[in-house]
Structure 1
Amino acid sequence: MNDNEPISAHLAVSGLSVGTPGHVLVRAVDLHIPAGGVLTLLGESGSGKSLLAQAIMGNLPASLSCSGTVDVGGRRSDAADLPARRALWGRQLALLPQEPWLALDPTMRVARQIAEVHELVAGMAPEVAAPTAQAGLERLGMGGAGEKYPFQISGGMAQRVAFLATHAAGAPVMIIDEPTKGLDADRRADVLTVLRAAIADGLTLLTITHDVWLARQLRGQVAVMLGGEIVERGDTATVLVAPGHAYTRRLLAAEPAAWPHLAPVKADEGEVLVHIDSVAKSFGAQHLFAGVTAQIRRGEFIAVTGPSGSGKTTFGNIALGLLRPDSGTVTRGAGLARTAFQKIYQDPAAAFAPSATLRRSLQDVVTLHRLAWPELEGLLTRLRLRPALLDRLPSQVSGGELQRFALARVLLLRPALIFADEPTSRLDPVTQQETLALLAEHAREYGCAVLLVTHDADIPARMATRVISLSASRSSVP
């Protein structure tokens, strides 16, 4: 975006519906965001929020049809005319997807791909684009990430990089899907600052999120989606203070700060599964943590906290035996099967074969380990996953749905230790509460230990028996 070229464009959607023959997925949505305005779309996983965004972008799969109209800054087109909106990509209309890896080139260093967008799309001179890209990284607390590749940074960092690259194109209308998922409080505040600055410059923003805090902070309008329909909409200050719809009230009541406290398990009662003694880990010049000592026992629900980049995922991988520490020792309980240690990945797309249906992936696990399919079906019901989703590819379900499929697959194996790396980052508050309650119930019933990575301070306060807090080169373990 050139500083001397202000941006301004509205976004209007009228009667937009998406579906397959005989099945409506998104029903007659009407939205209007004035130029420079913001609308935040809230709703449960699988309610159609991301599908609505793809329809607006003109990026639906061939198996789906849509109707209605979409108007981007006066460029009005039939919703079914997908090429008309694809012609607007980058310069008029942009989307930051929920999965940051889909927006980043894995073969290009972080700073270079942001600078390239400044050059090729916004027309910035190379000698200006490079420092502009670096300045953007530094504003978001990632000044040292510029020379790394996407696979060398955390999921939360990748999300912020993807935003910088998308915004560099200078499109006046942007759709952002879950911009704060997996971020700690400081990093969420950084993203909010950048979004507010972009809105002040004239950006028209449609934000899809489960983060009620973000909706409150962005102000503007809010719309609540349930079952493919908008069930409530209005000024954010009004809707989130005095909601009129029962689902909106339930959504607000399910924020972690309102959860009841779970009775903690005594830390010295269960069998020791992993003994960690004075471990440290660095990657090159980046020191993550040092001197971490802890015991993980059966039945415990342990939260691992710390700012983005402090090594939470790395620590969990060391506990599982997926990584070796630079120093210190890790001793795991004797006589445990290789399936006794399981991981729920922060990015569930990385845990499923992209060309196999979910049914095939899950059936392979059931067959390999001689498990019972009806038990899996029971877990899917508890997680509110419709049987019809099983016959879709991982890319054809929402991020929240895929995250719950990953959880069901792990729970089916009844492991001794589950490392859950932000397992609810893509879930709305209602589904998050239900999912973590199921995880805690499973831990109690089967004597399983859970090592939970989370950036939400209220979740450990309600659920954890204790907390392992990591920061650069040091840790705090009660």
Structure 2
Amino acid sequence: MTEVLLAVAGLSVQVGGRPLLREVSFELRAGEALTLLGESGAGKSLLAQAVMGNLPRALRAGGRVTIGGATTAAADGAARRPLWGRALALLPQEPALALDPLARIAPQLAEVHALVGGAGFGQAPALAARQLADIGLSHAVRRYPWQVSGGMAQRAAAAMALAGGARVLMADEPTKGLDAHWRARTVETLQAVQRRGGCVVTITHDLRVAQALGGRLMVLRDGEVVEQGEAQAVLAAPRHPFTRALLAADPAHWPMPAPQAAEGEPVVRAQGLAKRFGERRLFEGIDLALHSRDRLVVQGASGTGKSTLGNVLLGLQPADAGVVRRRPDLPATAFQKLYQDPAASFAPHARLAQSLRDVARRHGRAWSQVQACLDRLRVPESLLGRRPAEVSGGELQRIALARVLTVQPALLFADEPTSRLDPVSQQEAMALLLETAAQTRAALVLVTHDDDIAAAVATQRLSFGEAAAA
């Protein structure tokens, strides 16, 4: 029988005596995979951070973690730190927080190859360049993380997690923000770790990824394991009501949108828009007109300019060619953006309640309106006393959605607004987004890589990398 690479026994996490994760146990041998499903905030990312030994100070871990035969107390994170990158690696959920914004991508990756992978400084740059070329980032070797798209940053962070050659890899939402091609490539990369004699723990909300990875599946809710077993068996015949609800809420089952007639003067009109990034052409010849209650879905491969188009429409970036006309009776604050990376859109040291109250005060909204959105999105009031880094990515994404809906914009550019949410929360969040947009007569521009979400939302479509159809 092959050796056990990772064993977790009775792993728990508490804050101030309140349990966040309860008695989780599993073990993985060489070549095996475990996928974690569950609602946003259920403790999936906490589990990964506890295994790494990288929990925030206020949290306390219990239980034991065994890596490659060496057992340590879960609370003794310092004992596992020498294993980071070499034996135990984590691809975190937020690439913006994993990459150094002041260092170019290729040198960052080369440093990992040299200092963690043992390649040496002479060989490391060539290894980094080859790895970046393999993941379609050869054009980005001289760029900083903030100069690439969210999907590109995700791929760069994954490359760095793999560069040290760790046999135990934990990947937290590794396909978030990736198009279908790179989602499949990421799954292949995780499977390659297994073929090389490693094991993989994958946290995902994407049921297609769980299906493709196979292995074992564990479903968490409120910090507890409610179901586990072979992935194909659980997905085909779930026993627990929550697992059934997760599968039923998959976007493939959402109803199609009803057609809508254009209303009044366009909120925004664009003609002949073109934009380049350095030597790369992102888009050109874009013509569109968005009226109240229009829902335009923008799709295309990572890095093709979808987010940039939204920034141009909102007036955050200038176009290289063409013109944008916004309805003259609308103030600048009527054009709002829901960011792809929610962590980067909140003041890091301000508590979430303060950030929300500042927005409500700035736009003359009652606090009860904010609370109504938070209630619809199932955001507990207890989270508002925390800072952005102290909540999960999915929880922060829901709070960001409540914040922007409080403003009641005339045009909302939503950049992958549900990518960090489980299917149930995703369906609830999208329903609230569409309902609020309809009530306030807002136009919506939605960026998504999910074809099923696009089909359920779009009244117009714009595809990059191929002829646009609107």
Shorter-chain TM-score category?
Answer: over 0.9
User: What is the distance in 1 between the residues matched to 2:77 and 2:157?
Assistant: 24
Match of 2:307 among 313, 336, 346: 313
* SS at 2:236 equivalent: coil
User: What is the distance in 2 between the residues matched to 1:82 and 1:180?
Assistant: 27
Equivalent AA in structure 1 for residue 147 of structure 2: Q
* SS at 1:452 equivalent: strand
User: What is the distance in 2 between the residues matched to 1:220 and 1:276?
Assistant: 48
Name the counterpart of 2:74: 79
Deviations 1:184-223 (A, max 9, x none): 0011111112222121111211111111111111111110
1:28-427 aligned within 5 A: 28-266=23-261, 268-427=262-421
Instruction: Tell me if the contact between 2:30 and 2:194 (Cα under 8 Å) persists in the aligned partners.
Output: no
User: What is the distance in 2 between the residues matched to 1:147 and 1:475?
Assistant: 30
* SS at 2:84 equivalent: coil
Aligned pairs, number: 469
Equivalent AA in structure 1 for residue 432 of structure 2: L
Matched-pair identity in %: 52
Equivalent AA in structure 2 for residue 372 of structure 1: A
Match of 1:437 among 431, 445, 449: 431
Instruction: Tell me if the contact between 1:8 and 1:36 (Cα under 8 Å) persists in the aligned partners.
Output: no
User: What is the distance in 1 between the residues matched to 2:461 and 2:132?
Assistant: 30
The CA deviation at 1:18 is 0.7
Instruction: Tell me if the contact between 1:45 and 1:431 (Cα under 8 Å) persists in the aligned partners.
Output: yes
Equivalent AA in structure 2 for residue 354 of structure 1: P
Instruction: Tell me if the contact between 2:96 and 2:344 (Cα under 8 Å) persists in the aligned partners.
Output: no
Instruction: Tell me if the contact between 1:305 and 1:468 (Cα under 8 Å) persists in the aligned partners.
Output: yes
Equivalent AA in structure 1 for residue 29 of structure 2: P
Name the counterpart of 1:476: 468
Deviations 1:241-263 (A, max 9, x none): 11111111111111111111121
Instruction: Tell me if the contact between 1:65 and 1:80 (Cα under 8 Å) persists in the aligned partners.
Output: yes
Instruction: Tell me if the contact between 1:278 and 1:329 (Cα under 8 Å) persists in the aligned partners.
Output: yes
Instruction: Tell me if the contact between 1:8 and 1:203 (Cα under 8 Å) persists in the aligned partners.
Output: no
* SS at 2:56 equivalent: coil
Instruction: Tell me if the contact between 2:418 and 2:429 (Cα under 8 Å) persists in the aligned partners.
Output: yes
Q: Which moved more, 1:352-361 or 1:73-82?
A: 73-82
Equivalent AA in structure 1 for residue 454 of structure 2: P
Deviations 1:431-457 (A, max 9, x none): 111101111101111101110000011
Q: TM-score, normalised by structure 1?
A: 0.96
Deviations 1:303-341 (A, max 9, x none): 011111110000001111111110011000011122100
User: Structure 2 unaligned runs (5+)?
Assistant: none
The CA deviation at 1:43 is 0.7
* SS at 1:440 equivalent: helix
User: What is the distance in 1 between the residues matched to 2:336 and 2:198?
Assistant: 43
The CA deviation at 1:175 is 1.0
What RMSD over aligned residues (CA atoms) do the two structures have, in Å?
1.4
* SS at 1:240 equivalent: helix
Equivalent AA in structure 2 for residue 476 of structure 1: A
Equivalent AA in structure 2 for residue 71 of structure 1: T
Instruction: Tell me if the contact between 2:117 and 2:163 (Cα under 8 Å) persists in the aligned partners.
Output: yes
Q: TM-score, normalised by structure 2?
A: 0.97
Name the counterpart of 2:442: 448
Instruction: Tell me if the contact between 1:9 and 1:172 (Cα under 8 Å) persists in the aligned partners.
Output: no
User: What is the distance in 1 between the residues matched to 2:467 and 2:384?
Assistant: 41
Instruction: Tell me if the contact between 1:17 and 1:29 (Cα under 8 Å) persists in the aligned partners.
Output: yes
User: What is the distance in 2 between the residues matched to 1:101 and 1:203?
Assistant: 26
Equivalent AA in structure 2 for residue 219 of structure 1: G
CA gap of 1:330–1:132, structure 2 versus 1, over 3 A, is same
User: What is the distance in 2 between the residues matched to 1:8 and 1:426?
Assistant: 34
User: What is the distance in 1 between the residues matched to 2:265 and 2:46?
Assistant: 46
The CA deviation at 1:109 is 1.7
Instruction: Tell me if the contact between 1:9 and 1:204 (Cα under 8 Å) persists in the aligned partners.
Output: no
The CA deviation at 1:86 is 2.0
* SS at 2:111 equivalent: helix
User: What is the distance in 2 between the residues matched to 1:69 and 1:125?
Assistant: 34
User: Structure 1 unaligned runs (5+)?
Assistant: 1-6
User: What is the distance in 2 between the residues matched to 1:57 and 1:383?
Assistant: 30
User: What is the distance in 1 between the residues matched to 2:424 and 2:32?
Assistant: 28
User: What is the distance in 2 between the residues matched to 1:270 and 1:433?
Assistant: 30
Instruction: Tell me if the contact between 2:150 and 2:340 (Cα under 8 Å) persists in the aligned partners.
Output: yes
